[in-house]
Amino acid sequence: LKAKINKNIGAVFLSWKNLSKALYYYNIAQELAIKGNDKITEADCLNNKGTVYEQQNNYQKAFEVYSQALKIYTKANINQRIALTYNNLAILSKVAKKFNDASHYYKQSVIYADKANNAWLTAAISTNLGNLLTEMGQLSEGQIYLQKALTISTQIDAKELIYETLENLAENASRSKDFNKAYLYHKQFSKAQNDFINLENTKEVAKLQAEFESEKKEKALAKSRAQFLQSRLEINRKNNLLNYAILGLLAIGSLTLLVFRNSRVKQQKLKLENEFNLKLASAEARNQLQEEKLRISRELHDNIGSQLTFINSSIQNLDEGFEDNEVLTETRKITQNTIAELRRTVWLINKQEVDLDEFIIKLRDYVKPMQTNSPHFQIEISYTGNCSLNSLTATNLFRIIQEGINNSVKYAKANLLTVKINCTENKLDLAIADNGVGFSIANASEGYGIKNIKTRVEALKGECAINSVIGKGTNINVNIPV
């Protein structure tokens, strides 16, 4: 029991992002579990410690404790926890770019999720595996797992999984050069994403309605009590004729109090109604804004997206008829980059809120082609803390980082660039640094890149400092409220 209590305390500190405290209590819980021969709690502690080490970027230690937990779960034949632990090992292997290992662990995770009869878990892991296989170029096998994920997600009506899987199927079809199927999957993805967002908006309005109804019932009960008190006063007045004068004064006083209380109840009721109307209007405004954003994203997907896909297909067909055509190769590369940028833009538009974890994944996807094409130029991305970014903040933050990376690639002649993000409860700090040639701040004119960064920071009501020393590189520091 003591082991489980300390494990739960560790979980609380982990939810607060106090990693050192979480690790301290998990270690205590693990020692108590070992003394009490509680193997399952011991394995749970190891698994939770792996989560802490992951957030500390200590991936080697995380891999070790996940492996220890897996041995215990396997011996105890707990299929669901085996599946989750294999999934954790797959994620670590993917971060370390050991893609074959990641594929193996994901496949094991799917097998044990099936054995556990956990349909949602099977669908989610199959989506991850299908996406990985697509990135590895194993397109046919990737499509098999993605189709499996789509079938299960549809059966259990897991809307978020449905639209994520459709997006991955569109990417798989595009890489397979089946552009008609890619276009159809894009249309299905757009509709599924709309359904998910509309469901979330409906839930929010229903929640507000429930809050208002609850308040209204409480006020009605208070009014009934006041009426009951008034009736009792009338009966007492009639039954105590000898004390008529005194009771009359009391009745007048009581009636005055009741009028005052009723007046307050009415005022509070009006206040609640006004607050509800404001909340409802705000929700409707957000809904209208989201609908407009969805309309724009649909236009981008259905019109520009399909046209770019057609252009890309046409260029590839032309390229097959010409050998070593640099113009066609460069045009195809620009078109593919434009399609990728369009997907990122649509993703940012559609999201009402973006978790920092999701943001970092998209950012790493963005820099991946740069590192593949320029092995001498390394980009390191790290982050601490976690917070939710609204659509405006996420879009501007992504463009600021994008501008910083592009400036370094074009002008700095650097071989290393670091991007560090630290997010607290109400503030986000961003630091971009390279080891390039640098430039003189005093002599440099404010180019479009620097001006663009400052304009976006001002739009977020944040602060920006750009420092550079010739021969020592450039630093961009930004802090914005969240």
Read off the tokens for 31.
């020692």
Rounded average pLDDT over 362-369: 87
Distance separating alpha carbons of residues 339 and 333, to the nearest angstrom: 10
pLDDT band at 316 (very low <50, low <70, confident <90, very high): low
Residue identified by tokens 């496949």 is: 107
CB 453 within 8 A of CB 403: yes
| AA letter at 480 | I
Whether residue 205 has pLDDT greater than 50: no
Question: pLDDT by residue (tens digit) across 387-428?
Answer: 889 989 999 999 999 999 988 888 888 899 999 999 988 899
221-225, 279-283, 341-345, 382-386: which is most confident: 382-386
- More confident position, 198 or 467: 467
CB 309 within 8 A of CB 315: no
Read off the tokens for 341.
């940028």
Read off the tokens for 220.
């009605």
Query: Model-level pTM greater than 0.85?
Result: no
- More confident position, 100 or 335: 100
Q: What are phi and psi of 357, to 5 degrees?
A: -60, -45
Distance separating alpha carbons of residues 40 and 44, to the nearest angstrom: 6
Predicted confidence at residue 439, as pLDDT, reads 84
| CATH for 351-481, options being 3.30.565.10, 3.40.250.10, 3.40.50.970, 3.20.20.70 | 3.30.565.10
Could you tell me which residues are beta bridge partners of residue 186?
Answer: none
Q: What angle do CA 128, 130, 135 make, to 5 degrees?
A: 95
Q: What are phi and psi of 338, to 5 degrees?
A: -65, -40
Whether residue 170 has pLDDT greater than 50: yes
pLDDT band at 212 (very low <50, low <70, confident <90, very high): very low
Read off the tokens for 440.
């003189």
pLDDT band at 43 (very low <50, low <70, confident <90, very high): very high
Read off the tokens for 275.
């607050």
Distance of CA 113 to the CA centre of its chain: 24
Q: List the strands of the sheet with 416-423, edge to edge.
A: 378-384, 416-423, 427-434, 473-481, 463-469
Predicted confidence at residue 201, as pLDDT, reads 42
SS3 letters across the chain: CHHHHHHHHHHHHHHCCCHHHHHHHHHHHHHHHHHCCCHHHHHHHHHHHHHHHHHCCCHHHHHHHHHHHHHHHHHHCCHHHHHHHHHHHHHHHHHCCCHHHHHHHHHHHHHHHHHCCCHHHHHHHHHHHHHHHHHCCCHHHHHHHHHHHHHHHHHHCCHHHHHHHHHHHHHHHHHCCCHHHHHHHHHHHHHHHHHHHHHHHHHHHHHHHHHHHHHHHHHHHHHHHHHHHHHHHHHHHHHCHHHHHHHHHHHHHHHHHHHHHHHHHHHHHHHHHHHHHHHHHHHHHHHHHHHHHHHHHHHHHHHHHHHHHHHHHHHHHHHCCCCCCHHHHHHHHHHHHHHHHHHHHHHHHHCCEEEHHHHHHHHHHHHHHHHHHCCCCEEEEEEECCCEEEHHHHHHHHHHHHHHHHHHHHHHCCCEEEEEEEECCCEEEEEEEECCCCCCCCCCCCCHHHHHHHHHHHHCCCEEEEEEECCCEEEEEEEEEC
Distance separating alpha carbons of residues 47 and 138, to the nearest angstrom: 31
Predicted confidence at residue 332, as pLDDT, reads 64
Q: Is the dihedral of CA 379, 383, 386, 390 positive or negative?
A: negative
Q: What architecture is the 2-197 domain classified under in CATH?
A: Alpha Horseshoe (1.25)
Rounded average pLDDT over 58-70: 94
Predicted confidence at residue 407, as pLDDT, reads 87
| Domain definitions of the chain by residue range | 2-197, 202-294, 351-481
Give the rounded percent of residues in the chain with a pLDDT score beyond 70: 68
Distance separating alpha carbons of residues 407 and 405, to the nearest angstrom: 6
pLDDT averaged over every residue in the chain = 80
Distance of CA 357 to the CA centre of its chain: 6
